Structure 1
Amino acid sequence: MNKPLRSLVFSLLGALALVTATPGWSQTDDLLARIKTNKEITIATEARYAPFEYVDNGKIVGYDADLMAYVLKSIPDVKVKQLDLPFQGLLPGLDAKRFDIVVTAVTVNKDRVSHFAFTVPVADATTGVLLRNGDTSIKSPDDLNGKIVGSQTGSAQLQALQALDKKLKDAGGPGIKQIKQYVAFDEAYADLAVGRLDAVAQSVANLGPLMKSRPGVFTLLPQTIGPKSYFAWVARKDSDSAALVKLFSDGIARANRDGTMKKLQEKWFGSTMDVPADAVPVPSI
């Protein structure tokens, strides 16, 4: 090998060694490391799900927003870029890597757990039934036979409602007359208030504050439908996101144990709820 060529080879090898040894360049960095390096995290939310998250004076506020601020104290130099998207686009967008994590009330169920990584729970998601105040025709879930009931497209509450419909039919009843699906729950509440729906299936955690904000309009069926379930936040189920999921889960668990979670529940729901701090319970549906 002639001297100029040899010098070129050694120069290239030296440059390669320098680049591969440079911190921050390594392709082995995971998502959390990149977030810390770039000093920005992209978070997706459905800000039409009060009191978990909603827009007030152009700002996303709510229970999840306050809890997220508490969790992110562990990475104080990181700027939050928060996207407000329809619920139906959150998990597909997460899958497509359009954002780093979903911080909104997502019910843990079997189908989602098989594909995504959940944090520890942030709230109770058990499904309740909202009724129009003064409607005495519905006193139990069985009375939803022949009724028109609404819920949100893609939600676990819709899944619980569909399971109830099957149960009613299996018991020999006609089942629910029509299950109407909505992009957002606010549309379903409006239809219930004016009589276009007989009931709405939604989490009990959401319904208490709704009835308080609109006194005399709605009432709640005493019985819930479907099994006990929980809300949590969601990330991709891969090694790249594992450290980020742990950071969020550890922060939520810390808030659960030090009383912060209960204070935020009182602030946003007017009551508290018990949620596990150590793990995501195995969903039954």
Structure 2
Amino acid sequence: MVMVAAATALTACGGQAKGDLLQQIKDAGVIRVAQTQANPPWNFLENGKPAGYDVDVANELAKRLGIKKVEFVASNFQSFIAGVQAGRFDAVIAGQTITDERKKQVDFSRPYQVNGISIFVGSTSSIGGVADLEGRKVAVTAGTTQAAFAEKSIPGAEIKTYENATLGLTEVGRGRADAALVSRFQGAFLAQKNGLAVKPAGPLLESEVNGISFAKGSTAFKAAVDKALGDMIADGTLTAISKKWLGGLDMAEQLKGV
């Protein structure tokens, strides 16, 4: 009896029971969603409040799951997986790329957005592609797939890591880095918003498929989230959200065939 009670107590203290995340969130009446809050146009702070594509997706998702409140938690790509595993938040809705390595540690929803890596350089730079980056200073956001790409695919480069893409692009604009690897949509948005003297160079380096991550074994939660996302795609809600934030891009169209 004592052993059973102890095990029960440990489960309660340890956070989410496998497969029961949906019910726990509904009982609490709030879903805790991790985002960087520094990754526009996906998620960022506007007048001190969370805004962007990911924020609107999170709010709509909670509404469709019957959850009254979304609590946005500031985190970063390096901490997302550990935070989910430790129960510091319930889900990550922050443009997290679905990879085989990450799938060993957390579960993912069906894709809700696609993205692509671009090289951004100074407005007068002659850099035209990856081959021109060898031995150069390249800015990336720590913990992202862009950082992994740079380490793997740019020989001899000096990789400079930053907390977010704004900082990396600013370094390029000021001439303290030769290039930055950033989402094409995000880089264009940030350059315009902040008046940065940067431009995209060459074709997309990689396409990324992004999902919502949460604790492994959360089968009921995954089924509910996947259904809600599917409904949002089918009824035009995701199209409206994406056109609002992504310069007229229809994300539902981009997701076809993914």
TM band (smaller chain): 0.7 to 0.9
Separation (CA, whole Å) in 1 of partners of 2:211 and 2:135: 33
The corresponding residue for 1:235 is 214
Displacement, 1:30?
Answer: 1.3
2:91 is matched with which residue?
101
TM-score w.r.t. structure 2 length?
A: 0.85
User: What residue number does 2:5 align with?
Assistant: none
Amino acid corresponding to residue 106 of structure 2 in structure 1: F
Match for residue 139 of structure 1 among 96, 104, 128? 128
Higher strand share: 2
Unaligned runs of 5+ in 2: 1-16
For residues 239 and 78 of structure 2, what CA distance do their matches in structure 1 show? 29
Tell me which residue corresponds to 1:70. Answer: 60
- SS of 1:87's partner is coil
In structure 2, relative to structure 1, the CA distance for the partners of 1:28 and 1:51 (3 Å cut) is: closer
* Greater mean alpha carbon deviation, residues 244-253 or residues 190-199: 244-253
CA contact (8 A) 1:121 1:277 kept: no
Aligned-pair CA distance for 1:70: 1.6
Are the aligned partners of 1:109 and 1:156 in contact in 2 as well (CA < 8 Å)? no
Q: 1:140 to 1:86 in 2, by over 3 A?
A: closer
Tell me whether 1:116 sits opposite 2:106 in the alignment.
Answer: yes
Give the whole-Å Cα distance in 1 for the aligned partners of 2:54 and 2:76.
Answer: 16
Amino acid at match of 2:247: G
Instruction: Give the aligned partner of residue 80 of structure 2.
Output: 90
- Residue 185 of structure 1 aligns with an amino acid whose one-letter code is A
2:180: which partner in 1? 200
State the Cα distance separating 1:216 from its structure 2 match.
Answer: 6.5
**Residues matched between the structures, number:** 240
Q: Which residue in the other structure is 1:261 paired with?
A: 238
Return the letter of the residue paired with 1:201: L
TM value normalised by structure 1: 0.77
Alignment of 1:37-52 (within 5 A): 37-52=27-42
- Alignment partner of 1:30 out of 20, 45, 49: 20
Where does 1:133-282 land on structure 2 (aligned, <5 Å)?
133-136=123-126, 138-165=127-154, 175-214=155-194, 217-226=197-206, 228-238=207-217, 241-272=218-249, 273=251, 274-276=253-255
Q: If you compute each CA radius of gyration, which structure gives the higher value, 1 or 2?
A: 1
Q: In 2, distance between residues paired with 1:161 and 1:46?
A: 21
Give the ranges of 4+ consecutive aligned residues of structure 1 lying more than 4 Å apart after TM superposition.
none
- Measured in 2, the distance between the counterparts of 1:103 and 1:151 equals 20
